[in-house]
Structure 1
Amino acid sequence: MGVALAVLNRVAASEVLDRFKLRKPVERGVYEATRSGFRTVAAAGRSFGAVQKLGKPARLPHRTEQGLFDITPTDEQQMMVEMLREFAAEQLRPVAADADTACAAPAEVLGAMNELGVSLVGVPEELGGAGSERSAVSGVLIAEALAHGDMGLAVACLAPAAVSTALTLWGDAGQQSTYLPAFTGDDVPAAALAVQEPHALFDPFALRTKAHRSGGGFVLNGVKALVPNAAKAELFVVAADLAGRGPVLFLVESSTPGLTVEADPGMGLRAASMGRLHLDDVTLPASALLGDENSYADCVRLSRLGWCALAIGTGQAVLDYVIPYVNDRVAFGEPISHRQGVAFSVADIAIELEGMRLVTYRAAGRAEQGKPFARETALARALCADKGMKIGLDGVQLLGGHGFVKEHPVERWYRDLRAVGLAEGVVLV
C-alpha cells in the first residue's frame, strides 16, 4: 500500500486542507491514484490496539530492487511532493522571515504539518503509520519539498519524524509500544534527534557525551547542540559514547532529572529554535538503549542524506528566485541575464543541483533496498556541502546589493545552506 496515498487519505479528512486551501489538489491526487489502481486506506480504519500487545518489533521491509537505476519519483511520490511543495510555498515561505527573526516556528505551522501526517511515512501500518516498505527516497523527497519553502521551518517540521523513524528502524517491541503511538495520533509530540556537540571539528564518531553502566541502567553526561525545538521537545534520541562499546543512541524523556535545555540560536536555521541539551548525571533504565552496534553508523548516514535533501530543496529555491530576477533586472539598457558572467553563473547552479540530486537519490535508493550505502552517502554529503554553500553564495552575488538585505530571502537561504556541511543528526530519512 503506497505511503503517499495513505498520507493523502489521512490528510483528506483533516480540516487543515480547508484552512490552507489544499483540498482540491489532495482530492485530485487521491482520485487519480485510485483510478490508476492504487489501494488506499482511511485513517479511521487504523487500529492502535495491537501496538500495546507487540510481541516483536515491527520493521518495514526493504524495497524490492527494480533492476534499473531510475531516479524518477513514482506517481505516488510525485503526488506527495506536489502537495508538500504547494504547502511550503503557501504556508512556509510567507512566514519564514518572521520565524527567522523570532527564532521560532509558528505553532500553527507545526500543527498543520502534524495534520498532514509527515511523521507517519516512516512508521509501519500495523503500528498506525502509513509505511508498507522502507522508503528513504520518500524521506528525501519530503525534506527537499519542504526546504523549497524554508530550510529552518523544514527542520522544525521534520524533527519529530526523525525520532519516529529511528524508533521504527531500531526500536525494540517495548520502545515501539511505549512511544510510537504518540507519533501516529492527532497530537504528535515535539521530539528531536540530538547528535551534534558544541565544539570545533566535531566528529560524530568521537563523541564527548559519555555514558556508563550503573545499577542495571546508564548514566549520561555531556552537552548536545543544534537540537531543534529543544525547549518544547518531550522526547530526545541522544547520541553518546558508551564505555566499552562506542557511540550508541539513547531514548531520553524531557522530564528526566539532570536534563536541562538552553536556547542556542545560530547564524542560520533560526526558525528551528535550536538549543543545547545539557546532560548532568542523567540516569536511564536499561530499556533506554536504542538499537544495536550498527544502528548509530546508519543513523549518521541517514541523517546526512536528510541534510543533502534540505540542501537540494533550498538550492532549488535559490535557482527559482534568481532566474526571474536576472531576467527582469535591467542594467545598461538590457537585462543582466544577457551578460555571460550572469548567465553562466545561473547555469552552474542548475548543473550542480542536478548532480546533487543524482548522488543523493542514488544513496537513498540503496539504503531503502538494504544495500551498503556508506560510500554513496559520503559522496552526496561532500558534494551537497560544497556546492550547496556555493549556490547560496552565487545567489547572493547575482542579486548584488539586494542579496545583502532581508527584503529578499536569498540571504537567509545562504545562511541556512552553511549548516549542511556542519550539522549532524537532527533529520533522518
Structure 2
Amino acid sequence: MSLLSSLRPGGRHGIAESETRDPIGYAVAALSRLAQSDVLDRLGLRKQTETAVYTATRGGFRTITKAGRTFSRSGSSSSAGSRPADAARPGVFDLTPSEDEQMLVDVVTELAAEVLRPAAAEADETCIAPEAVLKAGLEVGLPILGLPEELGGITEERSAVAGVLVAEALAHGDLGLAVASLAPGAVATAIGLWGTEAQQQTYLPAFTSDDVPAAALALTEPTVLFDVLSPATTAVRTDDGFVLSGLKSAVPRGADGELFVVGASLDGAPVLFLVEAGTAGLEVEADPAMGVRGAGLARLHLRDVAVPADAVLGTTDGTTYAECVRLSRLAWCALGVGVGQAVLDYVTPYVKEREAFGEPVAHRQSVAFMVANIAIELQAMRLLTWKAASRAAAGKDVARDVALARQLCADKGMQIGLDGVQLLGGHGFVKEHPVERWYRDLRSIGVMEGTVLV
C-alpha cells in the first residue's frame, strides 16, 4: 500500500462527492450542467440560465468574515521572537536536495499525483478546494514546513529550499490546489520569520495543532499597473493602534479565512499587519479569476478596520515587507516550475503517440524542437529558482536572484503553457485535456503577489 493510498478517492479520506462542494459549489456546478442541456432551448430559457451561471460564478458570495476562533494573547509583546537559523553553506555550488529534503519531496509528489491531480478539474470548475485535499496537506505537515523545531515546526534551520521543492512538487498536481494547501503555511512562516514573542505564542500554536486555521497573505490589489511595494491600502495610527482601509484581491480561501497578513502603507512605507477574521469592517467577496481557481480566491474589503498596536508584523520601515515580497515571488517561481514540468510530462508522450500523415507528430522537427525548448527553458527556470532559494536559506541578499528567477519564470512559464496548447492542437483548447488549465494557471506567475511564501 502506498504512503497516500488512504487519501485516494474512495478511501478513508477519499474525495467523496459530498465533501468536495459547499452550497455555492453545488449551485455553480448544477447551473453549469443545466446550461448544457437541450431542454433550455425548447423552453426558451437559454439566455436566462447562462446569465445565472455567469452571475453565480463571478459573484459567488459577499459577506462579513466569519469570527472563527479566538487567538488568546500571550507572551511579551516587545521582545523579539525565535528565528530559524541560517542554513550552513558547504562552500561548493551544489543544489542537490539533502536526504531529508528528498524524502519530503517524494511524499509530496505522491500527494500531488494521487490527491491533487484527480481533484483539479472539479476544483477549477467550482472555485473550491475540496476538504479532503486540504486535510491531506495537513497530514504531511505543510503548515509547519517553514517553522523551526522550537516553534513547533519540523526544521532546524531556514527551509527555503525545502519550501521551493515542496511548492514545485505540489504544483505538478495542480497550481490552484497547491496554493490553497500552502496558504496557511505562508502565514505561519511569516510569523516565524518576523513575529514577536507574543505574536508567535499567540498564533503559532494553532498552526501546529490538528485544527489549523485557514490563513493567507493578502498583498495583491485590483488596480491598474499595481505596484506591490506601493500598496493603496492605508494604515493610520490611532491612540490604540491602527486603522486599515483598502481592498485586497486574489486572497486564497478567503471565504474560510481566520487570519490574514495584510500589506498596507504606513507613513509612506509598506508594512505587514496581522488581521483576524471577524474584526469589524472586514468583508470578504468572491473573486474567481482566469487561473488558480482551485484556491478559492476572494477579495478582502477593509473599511476602517481597527487593529491593536501589536498587530504590526516585523519592521515599519518597509524592509520586512520587501523581504516578504521576495520570498513570495520565489514561491511563485517554484509553482511555475511545477506546472511547467506537468506540461512537459504530458505533451512528451502525447506527441509520440499522436499520428498525422502516417507517423507520430514527434517525427516533425518543428514539434520535436518545441518540446526540446520547453525542457531547456524549464531547466533554466528551475536552476535560477533553486539557486535563489539556497541563498535565501543561507540568509544572503536575494533581491537580484529573485528578480532574475521571477522574470524568467514569468516569461518562459507563459511560453511553456502556450506551447503546450499548441502541441496538442485542437485538443489543447478543450477541457478534456488539462493543458488549457495549466495555460491559464501559468499566466498567474508574473501577476500574483503574496498568498504563498518560502
- TM normalised by structure 1 equals 0.88
1:175-197 per-residue CA deviation (whole Å, 9 max, x = no partner) reads 00000000011111100000000
Aligned to 1:371, what secondary structure does the other structure show? coil
Number of residue pairs matched by the alignment: 386
Matched, 1:138 2:178: no
Residue 283 of structure 1 pairs with residue 306 of structure 2:
yes
Q: Which amino acid aligns with 1:151?
A: L
Q: Among 410, 414, 436, which residue is 1:385 paired with? A: 410
Partner-residue secondary structure (3-state), 1:365: helix
CA distance in 1, matches of 2:153, 2:369: 46
Look up the match of 1:104. 128
2:293 to 270, 273, 297: 270
The aligned runs of 1:21-420 (5 Å cut-off) are 56-244=80-268, 246-292=269-315, 293=317, 294-420=319-445
Q: Measure the CA separation in 1 of the matches of 2:157 and 2:207.
A: 18
The one-letter amino acid paired with 1:335 is: P
Q: 1:243 to 1:56 in 2, by over 3 A?
A: closer
More divergent stretch after superposition (131-140 vs 337-346): 131-140
Question: Matched residues in 1 for 2:451 and 2:150: separation?
Answer: 26
Give the Cα separation in 2 of the matches to 1:223 and 1:81: 36
2:85–2:158 contact (8 Å) kept in structure 1: yes
| 8 Å contact from structure 2 (residues 75, 198) kept in 1 | no
1:216, distance to aligned residue in structure 2 (A): 3.1
Unaligned runs of 5+ in 1: 1-14, 22-50
**Structure 1 residues 131-155: Cα deviation after superposition (integer angstroms, max 9, x where no partner):** 2100201100010000000001000
Tell me if the contact between 1:319 and 1:346 (Cα under 8 Å) persists in the aligned partners.
yes
Q: Distance in 2 between matches of 1:184 and 1:222?
A: 31
Residue-by-residue CA offset, 1:247-289 (whole Å, 9 max, x unaligned) = 0000000111000000000100110000000000000100100
Structure 2 unmatched ranges of 5 or more? 9-72
What CA deviation, in whole Å up to 9, does each residue of 1:6-29 have, x standing for no partner? xxxxxxxxx9945127xxxxxxxx
Please name the residue that 1:3 is paired with. Answer: none
* Shift, 1:53, TM fit: 5.9
Q: Please name the residue that 2:6 is paired with.
A: 19
1:5: which partner in 2? none
**Are 2:446 and 1:421 equivalent residues in the alignment?**
yes
C-alpha separation in 2, matches of 1:425 and 1:87: 24
| 3-state SS of paired residue (1:187) | coil
Q: CA deviation at 1:128?
A: 1.4
State the alpha-carbon separation in 2 of the partners of residues 232 and 90 from structure 1: 25
- The answer to whether the 8 A contact 1:16-1:115 is kept is no
Partner SS, residue 419 of structure 1: helix
Give the 3-state SS of the residue equivalent to 1:284 in structure 2. Answer: strand
Question: What CA distance in whole angstroms lies between the structure 1 residues aligned with 2:80 and 2:121?
Answer: 45
Q: CA deviation at 1:75?
A: 1.4
TM-score normalized by the length of structure 2: 0.83
Instruction: Indicate how the Cα distance of structure 1 residues 18 and 351 shifts in structure 2: closer, same or farther if over 3 A, else same.
Output: closer
Secondary structure at 1:420's aligned position in 2?
Answer: helix
Which segment drifts farther, 162-171 or 119-128?
119-128
Cα distance change on mapping 1:242 and 1:16 into 2, 3 Å:
farther
Residue in structure 1 matched with residue 66 of structure 2 by the alignment: none
Q: Structure 1 residues 205 and 261 mapped into 2: Cα distance closer, same or farther (>3 Å)?
A: same
CA deviations on 1:230-259 (whole Å, 9 max, x unpaired) are 010100000000125x00000000111000
Partner of 1:4: none
Identity %: 63
Which secondary structure state, in structure 2, belongs to the residue aligned with residue 277 of structure 1? strand
Cα 1:190–1:366, aligned 2, differ >3 Å: closer, same or farther? same
Does the residue aligned with 1:278 lie in a helix, a strand or coil?
Answer: strand
- What is the rounded CA distance, in whole Å, between the counterparts of 1:298 and 1:52 in structure 2? 26
